[in-house]
Homo-oligomer: A and B are copies of this chain.
Amino acid sequence: MATRASGRSTREAIRAAASRLFRERGYARTPVRDIAALAEVNPALVIRYFGSKEELFLETMRLTIDDEPLLDVPIDRFGERFVDVVLSSEQDIRDVHLALVRGSGEERIAERLREVHEDSLVAPLRARLSGVDADLRARMAAAVVGGLLYSLWIVGDHALESERDVLVRRYGAIVQDIITPET
């Protein structure tokens, strides 16, 4: 095999392959060799560049939610919009989330999951809430959204996958009820 391009692009090729395979098959079921093969790179390089498989996993399984669509929405429609954003597939929130959940037997992966849950689900909700129970309400709403992801992707609840619009509306209503302070 010919020597490939410079170190920079090799690193990126490994990262891209790892990101894809980890999301598709999860941590435990993705050998380093498979990552190397997909990246068309020597297996030794994977470790050389990233130190260990776990480092590589943590390096690739990050999330930053795009909260722009959340900023300009009126508070009484926030629940629906939030569900909409989470379910939007542009960023692969769901895949990364799923991989983290399944890998959470490993302590450091669990830690990353907590960060992702906090930063991507709790924080955006919390930012728009006020009142004494704001924190608890944000966490409950985040848990509910987590439950939606769990149901859709982990248990594969196809019966819940009605029209996307219906899902966003009904689930949005649940979230909305939680974040709206009790009368």
Contact = CB atoms under 8 A, between A and B. Distances in A.
Interface of A: 25-26, 28-29, 101-105, 110, 113-114, 117, 135-136, 139-140, 142-148, 150-152, 154-157, 159-160, 162, 170-171, 174, 177-178
Contact of A145 (B147, B154, B159): B147
Given A26-B105, A136-B162, A151 B156 contact: no
B140 A150 contact: no
- Count this chain's copies in the assembly: 2
Contact of A174 (B113, B140, B157): B140
Contacts of A154: 101, 104, 110, 113
Contact of A113 (B28, B117, B155): B155
